[in-house]
Amino acid sequence: MEAPQRNLAMDLVRVTEAAALASARWLGKGAKNEGDGAAVDAMRLSFNTLDIDGRIVIGEGEKDEAPMLYNGERIGTGRGAAVDVAVDPVEGTNLLAYGRPNAIAVVGLAPAGTMFNPGPSYYMKKLVVPAAAKGMVDMNAPVAHNLEVTAKALGKKVEDLVVFVLDKPRHKDLITQIRAAGARIQLHTDGDVAGALMAVDPSSNVDMMFGTGGTPEGVLAACAIKALGGEILAQFDPQSEDERKNVLDFGLDLTQILTTDTLVCDDNVFFAATGISGGTFLGGVSYSGTGATTHSLVLRGKTGTIRRITSTHQWDKLMRFSSIKY
């Protein structure tokens, strides 16, 4: 037995709240990089108040030339635990730019040296299932088989399942196979971290996630999947010859099946996400004129604790000292 320890996720949620509050001002304005940049600046300032010795392992932005917290950047005061950090200040920059649902600010954290470094890999195939179906799915099995075993594990029929799939041309055959098996589909234009979270969240009506999405997002989602007890299986899926060559030159194996434990090999993980644009997963930032309300999900892997936090922010007090002008 041990006394309760510090839950770093409670510090992380202040970081994601700051990013969400700053970026939500750009909702629907068609300015993807400006919204992302506001979130990055707010997140960096917030991180550097935390007593951690952090190193960014997963920093979003590089593949689309957006602002970023860059890979290898040191964050925190340097006085606390040594940790690997995965960030996506705006997961779903297009969702934010066009005012669409499910843009979120996300941070994952794990002990130093335990988070997978995907190097130059931008894309991977992913299969995400909730805790009940853990160990039952197979990345190399037919789509219909994985639907059947997941449905059985959940006590459902295949026809009852809802599968999250990104609405991309590369998924044409996948969508056909899912429909042929009888399952239902939610098609989303962006946001596969949110999709992975929906697939493992007991309160969500999504049962699985299939398809190729971002590799950095896969590592980030694995922090939450660890905490929630679900499973992610993944395999590198380069979308260009240049990416394929870079992945091979980096020493990665295109045939390897990556598991949750491959992506994050320690259970002592922390995760926080705050809604920006709102949607089926997390409520968005709501401005009142005198303040704002945010909605967040906070997870701790070691204890399995899930917190859903609604926060009210008051400008008349916050703006007296905040260096972030919301």
Largest distance between two CA atoms of the chain = 58
Residue 92 labeled ligand binder: yes
Residue 300 labeled ligand binder: no
- Please report the pLDDT score of residue 6 as a whole number: 73
Residue among 250, 190, 197 at smallest CA distance from 214? 190
- Please report the pLDDT score of residue 7 as a whole number: 80
Q: What is the percentage of the chain residues whose pLDDT exceeds 70?
A: 96
- Tokens coding 149: 């075993």
Residue 305 labeled ligand binder: no
Phi-psi region of 281 (alpha: psi -120 to 50; beta: other; left: phi over 0): alpha
Distance CA 287, CA 305 (A): 29
The model's pLDDT over 153-166, given as tens digits with 9 standing for 90+, comes to 999 999 999 999 99
Residue 170 labeled ligand binder: yes
Instruction: Please answer whether residues 165 and 141 qualify as being in contact, where contact means their C-beta atoms are separated by less than 8 angstroms.
Output: no
Residue 114 labeled ligand binder: no
* CB burial of residue 297 (10 Å; 0-12, 13-18, 19+): buried
Mean predicted confidence (pLDDT) in 114-132: 96
CB 213: neighbour CB atoms within 10 A? 29
Residue 1 has pLDDT above 60, yes or no: no
Residue 190 labeled ligand binder: yes
Q: How do 305-314 and 291-300 pair as beta strands? A: antiparallel
Mean predicted confidence (pLDDT) in 46-52: 93
Residue 11 labeled ligand binder: no
Residue 217 labeled ligand binder: yes
Residue 287 labeled ligand binder: no
Distance CA 291, CA 6 (A): 29
Residue 60 labeled ligand binder: yes
Distance CA 119, CA 113 (A): 14
Distance CA 167, CA 185 (A): 10
Residues 6+ apart with CB under 8 A from 152: 136
Length of the chain: 326
Distance CA 121, CA 227 (A): 25
Instruction: Please answer whether residues 288 and 268 qualify as being in contact, where contact means their C-beta atoms are separated by less than 8 angstroms.
Output: no
CATH hierarchy code of domain 123-263: 3.40.190.90
Q: Fold for 8-113+268-319, please state it.
A: Fructose-1,6-Bisphosphatase; Chain A, domain 1 (3.30.540)
Residue 310 labeled ligand binder: no
- Output DSSP code: residue 150: H
Residue 289 labeled ligand binder: no
In order, the DSSP letters of 209-258 are EEEEEEHHHHHHHHHHHHHHT-EEEEEE--SSHHHHHHHHHTT--TT--B
- Please report the pLDDT score of residue 66 as a whole number: 52
Domain ranges of the chain: 8-113+268-319, 123-263
Radius of gyration of the chain (CA): 19
pLDDT grade, residue 61 (50/70/90)? very low
Mean predicted confidence (pLDDT) in 76-81: 92
Residue 36 labeled ligand binder: yes
pTM of the model: 0.93
Residues 6+ apart with CB under 8 A from 30: 97, 98
- Tokens coding 67: 């602002």
